Amino acid sequence: KNNVNIKEIGPGMAGADSDDSLYPIAVLIDELRNEDVQLRLNSIKKLSTIALALGVERTRTELLPFLTDTIYDEDEVLLALAEQLGNFTMLVGGPEYVHCLLPPLQSLATVEETVVRDKAVESLRKISHEHSPVDLEVHFEPLVKRLASGDWFTSRTSACGLFSVCYPRVSSTVKAEIRQHFRTLCSDDTPMVRRAAASKLGEFAKVLELEYVKSDIISLFTALASDEQDSVRLLAVEAGVSIATLLPQEDLEALVMPTLRQAAEDKSWRVRYMVADKFSDLQKAVGPEITKNDLVPAFQNLLKDCEAEVRAAAANKVKEFCENLPEDSRETIIMTHILPCVKELVSDTNQHVKSALASVIMGLSTILGKDNTTEHLLPLFLAQLKDECPEVRLNIISNLDCVNEVIGIRQLSQSLLPAIVELAEDAKWRVRLAIIEYMPLLAGQLGVEFFDEKLNSLCMAWLVDHVYAIREAATCNLMKLVEKFGAEWAQNTIVPKVLGMANDPNYLHRMTTLFCINALSEVCGQEITTKHMLPVVFKMSNDQVANVRFNVAKSLQKIGPVLDSNCLQTEVKPVLEKLASDQDMDVKYFAQEAISVLTFLFALFLQFFPWPNVPSLLNARPISQKCFRDTWLPKCFVQLFTKQTILLFILTPNLPAEPSCSVYHHLLNLSLGSHI
- 46 pLDDT band, cuts 50/70/90, is confident
pLDDT digits (tens, 9 = 90+) for 457-515: 989 999 999 999 999 999 999 999 999 999 999 999 999 999 999 999 999 999 999 99
Distance CA 140, CA 125 (A): 10
Residues constituting the chain: 676
Q: Which of 368, 377, 302 is nearest to 332 (CA)?
A: 368
Distance CA 529, CA 490 (A): 11
Q: Which helix (H) or strand (E) holds 328?
A: none
Distance CA 283, CA 280 (A): 5
| Furthest-apart CA atoms within the chain: distance in Å | 90
Would you call 214 helix, strand, or coil by DSSP? helix
- 645 pLDDT band, cuts 50/70/90, is very low
pLDDT recorded at residue 2: 41
Distance CA 629, CA 623 (A): 12
pLDDT recorded at residue 234: 94
In the predicted model, is pLDDT for residue 357 greater than 90?
yes
The CA distances from residue 263 to 232, 343, 634, 640, in Å, are 12, 26, 57, 60
- 437 pLDDT band, cuts 50/70/90, is confident
> For residues 657 and 19, which has the higher predicted lDDT (pLDDT)?
19
Cis peptide before 612 (omega within 30 of 0): yes
H helical segments located in 288-377 = 288-290, 296-303, 308-315, 318-323, 330-333, 339-346, 351-358, 364-372
pLDDT digits (tens, 9 = 90+) for 517-559: 999 998 998 899 999 999 999 999 999 999 999 999 999 999 9
What φ, ψ does residue 303 adopt, rounded to 5°?
-70, -20
Would you call 276 helix, strand, or coil by DSSP? helix
pLDDT recorded at residue 77: 84
> For residues 597 and 12, which has the higher predicted lDDT (pLDDT)?
597
Cβ contact 19:2 at 8 Å: yes
Average pLDDT for 75-85? 88
Distance CA 257, CA 290 (A): 9
Domain ranges of the chain: 504-676
pLDDT recorded at residue 602: 65
pLDDT digits (tens, 9 = 90+) for 57-76: 988 888 888 877 765 667 88
Strands (E), 75-152: none
- 279 burial via Cβ count (<10 Å: 0-12, 13-18, 19+): buried
In the predicted model, is pLDDT for residue 307 greater than 70?
yes
Average pLDDT for 128-153? 92
> For residues 401 and 25, which has the higher predicted lDDT (pLDDT)?
401
Choose the CATH number for 504-676 among 3.30.70, 1.10.10, 1.25.10, 1.10.3300.
Answer: 1.25.10
In the predicted model, is pLDDT for residue 348 greater than 60?
yes
The CA distances from residue 14 to 20, 69, 220, 390, in Å, are 10, 21, 56, 63
Say what the pTM is: 0.73
Neighbours of 5 (CB within 10 A): 11
Cβ contact 582:588 at 8 Å: yes
Average pLDDT for 387-400? 86
The CA distances from residue 64 to 55, 167, 512, in Å, are 12, 27, 61
Q: For 52, what's the count of Cα atoms within 13 Å in the CB-facing half-sphere?
A: 5
Average pLDDT for 124-144? 92
- Average model confidence (pLDDT) for the chain? 83
pLDDT digits (tens, 9 = 90+) for 209-248: 999 999 999 999 999 999 999 999 999 999 999 999 999 8
Distance CA 384, CA 589 (A): 53
Distance CA 22, CA 4 (A): 8
The CA distances from residue 612 to 380, 526, 568, 574, 602, in Å, are 65, 18, 13, 19, 12
> For residues 189 and 675, which has the higher predicted lDDT (pLDDT)?
189
Q: In this prediction, what percent of the chain has a pLDDT beyond 70?
A: 83
**Least confident range of 7-11, 442-446, 618-622:** 618-622
Q: In this prediction, what percent of the chain has a pLDDT beyond 90?
A: 53
Average pLDDT for 248-273? 92
The CA distances from residue 150 to 146, 188, 461, 672, in Å, are 6, 12, 67, 78
What φ, ψ does residue 583 adopt, rounded to 5°?
-70, -30
**Please, what is the Cα angle at 249 between 247 and 254, to 5 degrees?**
80
Average pLDDT for 180-198? 94
